[in-house]
Amino acid sequence: MPETMRAIRLTGPAGIEGLAVSDVPIPKVRPGCVRIRVMAFGVNESEATSRQGESGPDFSFPRILGIEAVGVVDAAGDGVALRTGQKVATMMGGLGRTIDGSYAEYTVVDAVNVIPFDTHLGWDVVGALPEMLQTAHGSITAGLRLEPGQSVLIHGGTSTVGLTAIAIAHQLGATVIATTRNPARSELLTRAGADHALVDDDTLPHAIRNLTPDGLDAALEFVGATALPATLSFVRPGGTVCFVGALSGTWTIPDFDPFTIPTGVRLTSYAGEANDLPSGALNQYLRAIEAGTLNIVIAGAHEGLEKVAEAHRDLESRHQPGKYVIVLPTT
Q: How far is CA 2 from CA 164, 267, 331, in A?
A: 38, 51, 14
The answer, yes or no, to whether residue 242 has pLDDT greater than 80, is: yes
Mean pLDDT to the nearest integer, 76-99:
95
How far is 9 from 102, CA to CA, in rounded Å? 10
How far is 170 from 173, CA to CA, in rounded Å? 5
Is the whole-model pTM more than 0.95? no
Mean pLDDT to the nearest integer, 36-64:
94
The answer, yes or no, to whether residue 86 has pLDDT greater than 90, is: yes
**Minimal CA–CA distance to 144: which of 246, 216, 220, 214?**
220
Q: pLDDT for 197-238, tens place per residue?
A: 999 999 999 999 999 999 999 999 999 999 999 999 999 999
Contact 90, 282 (CB under 8 A): no
Q: Which pLDDT belongs to residue 249?
A: 83
The answer, yes or no, to whether residue 33 has pLDDT greater than 90, is: yes
Mean pLDDT to the nearest integer, 257-265:
94
Q: pLDDT for 110-148, tens place per residue?
A: 999 999 999 999 999 999 999 999 999 999 999 999 999
How far is 149 from 257, CA to CA, in rounded Å? 32
Contact 8, 107 (CB under 8 A): no
Q: Look over the chain and give the mean of its residue pLDDT values, rounded to a whole number.
A: 95
Percent pLDDT > 90 in the chain is 91
Could you give the count of Cα atoms lying within 13 Å of 154 in the half-sphere of its Cβ? 33
pLDDT band at 247 (very low <50, low <70, confident <90, very high): confident
Mean pLDDT to the nearest integer, 175-180:
98
pLDDT band at 21 (very low <50, low <70, confident <90, very high): very high
How far is 35 from 89, CA to CA, in rounded Å? 12
The answer, yes or no, to whether residue 10 has pLDDT greater than 90, is: yes
